[in-house]
């Protein structure tokens, strides 16, 4: 991977900061930014080189998202979703893959949740009727292809079972004009991520537009380390990285404000006050510790993936360190937001944006409280498989 994608990401940061209000007002990523991110390869960062991707690692994606988030959390979020939505590309039929990879600047979006169904329309199985609703469809307003998790069903509506006698999980790949994108992303934070819900109502797709999880498992590319790396860990870790990036920028922003701000009734700058000095030093220490644990666990899981499927312990550590990165970042951002006083309440304040964005990011199911509860059950010996990790 000859391109330094962190350096490339850093070249966007100043522009993203300057266009923050524009991004929020549009409630989606401006198309010119999305197009440039695609042209520079961010959306295909972790897609295998064998299918026209960059072939980067989960850590590469995390570090890129961390850098972009310093400029704008929504932009980083769109890259996160765009890149991870290409995870199923090796399962695509040759016809679909040819369409997905015919250009190097493809913008993708998708929701992994299996909140839709794909029902056979006839005994041949050549056409499927897709119905469902997918929430948090980040980046869908910029994308050329949008996917959604579905369960395959027979003509009578009964789920088709896979080799393990479980409902067959798959992804349906849509063009934007085949689905209905709802105008429901009206939020306090991550406004520019365009995370609208979308629905499919009796959408007819040819069978080549359906990619099953079984097809992914049987693909020769499934032996690549990226597919032996813990799947849910991979899908969650950019959230931790984005939170860390916003938290570091919040410390930097607070320091910049504190050096120039003299609070009302004081003869000293904010940076000269012991209370601020304690707050910023403690925030820095907490953030560095959380970040070190986060990247250490990613590195360990990636090393393990070189040899085979990741262990349950690696999955547990990866998910908990990601969630811990988010909760620590919230504490750091909240502390910096409070420490600088009224300056942080204005829309043009980076602290204001990071405060709103991190609290929305923390509500994503991949870093929610049940993840930590599941990790605790593993530690307690109550759950020795924990497929949700």
Q: Which domains does the chain have, with CATH numbers?
A: 5-84 (1.10.540.10), 108-215 (2.40.110.10), 229-379 (1.20.140.10)
pLDDT tens readout for residues 332-342: 999 999 999 99
The residue-averaged pLDDT of 57-68 equals 98
Among residues 216, 253, 198, the alpha carbon closest in space to that of 70 is found at 253
Distances (CA, A) of 387 to 134, 346, 359: 22, 43, 27
**What 3-state class would DSSP assign to 26?**
helix
What is the rounded CA–CA span in Å between residue 244 and residue 9?
15
Q: Within a 10 A sphere around the Cβ of 74, how many other Cβ atoms? A: 33
Give yes or no for residue 302 having a pLDDT over 80.
yes
Q: How many Å apart are CA 294 and CA 80, to the nearest integer? A: 17
pLDDT for 191-238, tens place per residue? Answer: 999 999 999 999 999 999 999 999 999 999 999 999 999 999 999 999
Contact 329, 361 (CB under 8 A): no
CB 47 within 8 A of CB 91: no
In this structure, the number of other CB atoms found within 10 A of the CB of residue 178 comes to: 16
Distance CA 82, CA 53 (A): 13
Please name the helix (run of DSSP H) or strand (run of DSSP E) that holds residue 147, with its range, or none: strand 145-153
Percent of the chain with pLDDT over 70: 99
DSSP three-state, residue 297: helix
Q: Given this model, what pLDDT does residue 356 score?
A: 98
Residue 45, φ and ψ in degrees, nearest 5: -60, -40
By DSSP bridging, strand 145-153 and strand 169-174 are antiparallel
pLDDT tens for 102-142 read 988 999 999 999 999 999 998 888 999 999 999 999 999 99
Cα–Cα dist 298/319, whole Å: 10
**Other Cβ atoms closer than 10 A to 31:** 12
Residue-averaged pLDDT of the chain = 96
pLDDT in tens, 150-195: 999 999 999 999 988 999 999 999 999 999 999 999 999 999 999 9
């Amino acid at each position: 991977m000859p391109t330094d994608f962190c350096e490339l990401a850093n070249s966007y940061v100043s522009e993203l900061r300057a266009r923050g209000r524009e991004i929020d007002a549009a409630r989606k990523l401006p198309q010119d930014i999305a197009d440039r991110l695609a042209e520079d390869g961010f959306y295909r960062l972790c897609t295998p080189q064998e299918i026209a991707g960059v072939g980067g690692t989960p850590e590469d994606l995390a570090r890129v998202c961390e850098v972009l988030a310093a400029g704008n959390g929504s932009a980083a979020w769109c890259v996160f979703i765009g890149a991870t939505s290409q995870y199923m590309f090796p399962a695509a039929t040759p016809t679909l893959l040819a369409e997905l990879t015919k250009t190097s600047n493809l913008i993708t979006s998708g929701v992994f949740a299996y909140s839709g169904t794909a029902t056979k329309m006839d005994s041949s199985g050549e056409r499927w009727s897709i119905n469902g609703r997918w929430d948090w469809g980040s980046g869908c307003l910029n994308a050329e292809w949008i996917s959604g998790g579905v369960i395959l069903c027979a003509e009578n509506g009964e789920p088709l079972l896979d080799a393990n006698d479980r409902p067959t999980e798959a992804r349906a790949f849509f063009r934007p004009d085949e689905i209905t994108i709802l105008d429901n992303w009206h939020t306090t934070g991550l406004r520019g991520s365009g995370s609208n819900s979308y629905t499919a109502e009796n959408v007819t797709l040819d069978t080549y537009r359906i990619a099953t999880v079984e097809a992914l498992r049987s693909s020769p590319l499934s032996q690549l380390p990226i597919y032996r790396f813990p799947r849910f860990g991979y899908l969650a870790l950019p959230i931790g990285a984005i939170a860390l990036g916003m938290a570091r920028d919040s410390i930097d922003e607070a320091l910049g404000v504190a050096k120039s701000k003299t609070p009302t009734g004081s003869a000293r700058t904010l940076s000269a006050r012991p209370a601020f000095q304690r707050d910023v030093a403690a925030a820095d220490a907490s953030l560095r510790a959380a970040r070190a644990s986060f990247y250490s666990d990613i590195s360990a899981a990636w090393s393990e993936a070189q040899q085979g499927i990741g262990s349950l312990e690696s999955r547990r550590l990866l998910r908990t360190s990601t969630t811990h990165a988010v909760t620590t970042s919230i504490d750091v951002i909240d502390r910096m937001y409070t420490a600088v006083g009224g300056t942080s309440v204005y829309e043009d304040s980076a602290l204001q944006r990071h405060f709103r964005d991190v609290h929305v990011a923390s509500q994503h199911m991949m870093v929610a409280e049940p993840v930590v509860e599941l990790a605790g059950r593993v530690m307690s010996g109550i759950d020795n498989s924990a497929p949700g990790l």
